[in-house]
Amino acid sequence: MSSLITMLIISVIFTIYYAFAKNRFRKYDNSPVNKRIDLIYSRWYKTSAYLLNRKSTTIYEIDKLLYSLKTELMNVGISKEDIESYINMLRSYKANIQFGFKDVIIGMFTFFTTESYIKIISQNWNNIEKQINCYLSKPKNVDNLLTALFILLGTIAMFAIIWVISKIATLDTMHKKSQRLFTLNGLIKMWDYEEDQIVEKIEDIDKSKEKIVYVNLKFGKSKSDELIDKSLGENTYNYFNMIYDWFTQKLNNISVKIVQFIQFIIAILLPNIFGFSLSLISSIFIYVWISEIPSVLKVIILICLSILLILLFMIYFSLFKSTYEKYKKIVINSDNTSTKKCSGINCIQVFLIVLFYIYLACLAFNIHPIYSICMLIPIFPIVLAIFWSPSRT
């Protein structure tokens, strides 16, 4: 039963990951430019939604908001043509069937109702039912199951409360998706407007002039805005947006640190697959050397093993040298030249690897002392990589 459950869990995880990974950039038409536009628009809308949808907001103020969006887009090299292409993509995307969470559920249901899974479950159903009845027959297990259920419900309730609070706090952005086309079409319309940096009040605008955006225009306040400002201060929304951005940045930093940690683990594990192979082949080489087998066959085997050892040595040296150089720190000299020096990460890297091979040597010593020496052979290319760098002639 445990193997069946494990197989089902792995299948569920893989199905969800594959479905989302495959359709991750589908809504951007697989374009990094469209994705960038969407991210900038989302960030802009978060800070501009209230002013954009306020009853007292004028067209001149909307144009100023759109001008700020245009500035953010142009700062990363996005042009008017890119915006038009993004709008066309949005329209075609809305016309097509969209991939969503319901599609994952339907896909999983289809996947797990295939004949093979139904056959597996039906063949093991008696065993599954027996295991469940055996587990529930013990009062302690029932208590543990109820406790786990209460914890699960409490966790779900906490997430629900946090979700409701976050939605209440971001009510202004509820129309972000529905107003995307309106906003971007307005942006295209005012993209080539002339800029006026003199007028700051709506009363000073010459209504007879058209196609002008007043970039320094100050927003008027509604009565409700004045009441809130007098009661809570003028920076309530700004502080909320700042703390929201701070939390978002911290979460992004955590995800970056996790990725860096995984990269470091890969940098240790992958080269040492070949390092361990080098130790293993060395042990086999010694075993063949001391064993009593026909001389001709021994020579052939030793030659083949020697070639393999040389290849493994070269691969391991190259991989370790590459990762060692990657994690070096760059130091700026007094003459403005830069040099790479050993960093703390390098020390941790070397320490963990050497400790691993010393541990293998201790285990191999119980078999034969000569094998423990073979386990230490990868330390030689490590030392060589630290103090020597090959150069092309």
Query: pLDDT at position 355, please?
Result: 92
Q: How confident is the model at residue 2 (pLDDT cuts 50, 70, 90)?
A: very low
Query: pLDDT at position 108, please?
Result: 57
Q: Is the pLDDT of residue 114 over 60?
A: no
Conformation bin of residue 233: beta by default, left when phi > 0, alpha when psi is -120 to 50: left
Say how far apart CA 292 and CA 221 lie, in whole Å: 96
More confident residue, 109 or 67: 67
Task: Looking at mean pLDDT, say which of 250-254, 257-261, 262-266, 273-277 comes out highest.
Answer: 273-277
Q: Which of 128-142, 171-185, 239-253 is least confident?
A: 239-253
Q: Which residues have a Cβ under 8 Å from the Cβ of 135 and sit 6 or more positions away?
A: 141
Task: Please give the mean pLDDT across all residues of the chain.
Answer: 75
In this predicted model, what pLDDT tens digit does every residue of 185-219 receive, in sequence order? 888 888 888 888 888 787 778 777 888 888 888 77
More confident residue, 4 or 189: 189
Nearest to residue 181, comparing CAs of 54, 88, 78?
Answer: 88
Say how far apart CA 342 and CA 352 lie, in whole Å: 15
Q: How confident is the model at residue 1 (pLDDT cuts 50, 70, 90)?
A: very low
Locus of tokens 């209440």: 168
Average pLDDT on 96-103 reads 53
Q: Is the pLDDT of residue 387 over 50?
A: yes
Say how far apart CA 248 and CA 240 lie, in whole Å: 12
Average pLDDT on 276-285 reads 86
